[in-house]
């Protein structure tokens, strides 16, 4: 075990696996499969419409996040809303994993850096680590790969319903209001096609905890013309379909 020091604190890393404060209390027993969704009120609507039962809640400093148990294709699935931002999202993911979750599909929207229409489905296969949380879980690196088992399950779910998709590299950033003209161009030159705020951090946490995690994205706003930013309709037409696809995918994960 070793503490790796650096001139910049964010690049310092401790190889010890056990921290002073551990997630959960070891008494929760969630289903092993989970959908962790960045879809706001759609999560609660889905749970109520599909006879979901609230089995727990995660209490943050600002609000409560309900955790539901739903059935999909006769499988027990844990369903939980995800907060925006890598640190907040990873905190809840840790809680789910501590409760026994080992196979997770996240789903949410993203901004596009290339000319990709709204409401298209995407599968991140790698993420650029431009956020802080992932560096507490894995040694410094520029990119992180996403679980192949999770990616395969999402692909299969989309193919089953004959829904086209793109595999992409995503730029995960903490700085929503710091996507400058030059930075966007730089990220595009590195191969990033989309931008969001959680993927690389969730992937790092999952790798550290040795669980399967992958993400389904749908396109919302566009930065493809940085001189004319467009919110479009935030991909709202894809929300319900995306959540259903996440359930289809998590059932298909094979370890």
Helix (H) or strand (E) holding 46: helix 42-49
- Kindly report the length of the chain: 255
Please tell me the predicted confidence (pLDDT) of residue 16: 87
Please tell me the predicted confidence (pLDDT) of residue 254: 84
Cα 52 to Cα 226: distance, rounded to the nearest angstrom: 42
7 located within any domain: no
Report the predicted TM-score, pTM, of the whole model to 2 decimal places: 0.96
Q: Average pLDDT, stretch 13-23?
A: 87
Q: Average pLDDT, stretch 136-160?
A: 97
18 located within any domain: no
CATH number, position 179: 3.40.50.1580
Please tell me the predicted confidence (pLDDT) of residue 147: 97
195 located within any domain: yes
10 located within any domain: no
Cα 4 to Cα 60: distance, rounded to the nearest angstrom: 30
Q: Average pLDDT, stretch 191-220?
A: 98
Please tell me the predicted confidence (pLDDT) of residue 158: 98
Under 8 Å between Cβ of 231 and 169:
no
Please tell me the predicted confidence (pLDDT) of residue 23: 85
Pairing of strands 13-14, 212-222: unpaired
Please tell me the predicted confidence (pLDDT) of residue 1: 61
Residues sharing a CB contact under 8 Å with residue 110, sequence separation 6 or more, in sequence order? 122, 170, 194, 195, 196, 217, 218, 219, 220
pLDDT value at 196 more than 70: yes
Cα 14 to Cα 21: distance, rounded to the nearest angstrom: 15
Please tell me the predicted confidence (pLDDT) of residue 27: 67
pLDDT value at 26 more than 70: no
What percent of the chain shows pLDDT beyond 90? 90
- pLDDT per position as a tens digit, 47-71: 999 999 999 999 999 999 999 999 9
pLDDT value at 234 more than 90: yes
Report, in this order, helix, strand and coil percent for the chain, each rounded to 5.
30, 30, 35
Please tell me the predicted confidence (pLDDT) of residue 18: 85
Q: Which domain holds residue 95?
A: 27-252
238 located within any domain: yes
21 located within any domain: no
35 located within any domain: yes
Low-confidence winner among 3-7, 136-140, 147-151 (lowest mean pLDDT): 3-7
- pLDDT per position as a tens digit, 89-139: 999 999 999 999 999 999 999 999 999 999 999 999 999 999 999 999 999
15 located within any domain: no
pLDDT value at 184 more than 90: yes
What's the number of domains the chain is made of? 1
């Amino acid at each position: 075990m070793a503490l790796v020091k650096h001139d910049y604190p964010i690049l310092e890393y401790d190889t010890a696996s056990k921290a002073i404060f551990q997630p959960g209390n070891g008494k929760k027993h969630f289903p092993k499969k989970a959908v962790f969704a960045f879809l706001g009120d759609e999560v609660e609507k889905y749970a109520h419409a599909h006879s979901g039962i609230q089995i727990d809640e995660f209490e943050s400093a600002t609000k409560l996040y309900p955790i539901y148990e739903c059935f999909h294709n006769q499988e027990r699935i844990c369903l939980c809303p995800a907060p925006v931002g890598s640190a907040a999202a990873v905190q809840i993911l840790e809680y789910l994993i501590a409760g026994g979750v080992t196979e997770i599909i996240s789903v949410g929207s993203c901004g596009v850096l290339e000319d990709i229409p709204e409401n298209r489905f995407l599968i991140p296969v790698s993420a650029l680590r431009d956020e802080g949380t992932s560096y507490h879980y894995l040694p410094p690196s520029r990119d992180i790969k996403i679980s192949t088992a999770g990616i395969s399950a999402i692909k299969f779910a989309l193919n089953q319903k004959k829904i086209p998709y793109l595999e992409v590299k995503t730029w995960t950033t903490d700085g929503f209001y710091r996507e400058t003209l030059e930075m966007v161009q730089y990220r595009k030159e590195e191969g990033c096609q989309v931008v969001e705020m959680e993927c690389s951090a969730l992937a790092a946490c999952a790798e550290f905890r040795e669980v399967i995690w992958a993400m389904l994205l749908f396109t919302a706003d566009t930065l493809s013309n940085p001189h004319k930013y467009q919110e479009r309709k935030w991909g709202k037409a894809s929300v319900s379909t995306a959540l259903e696809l996440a359930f289809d995918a998590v059932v298909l994960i094979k370890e």
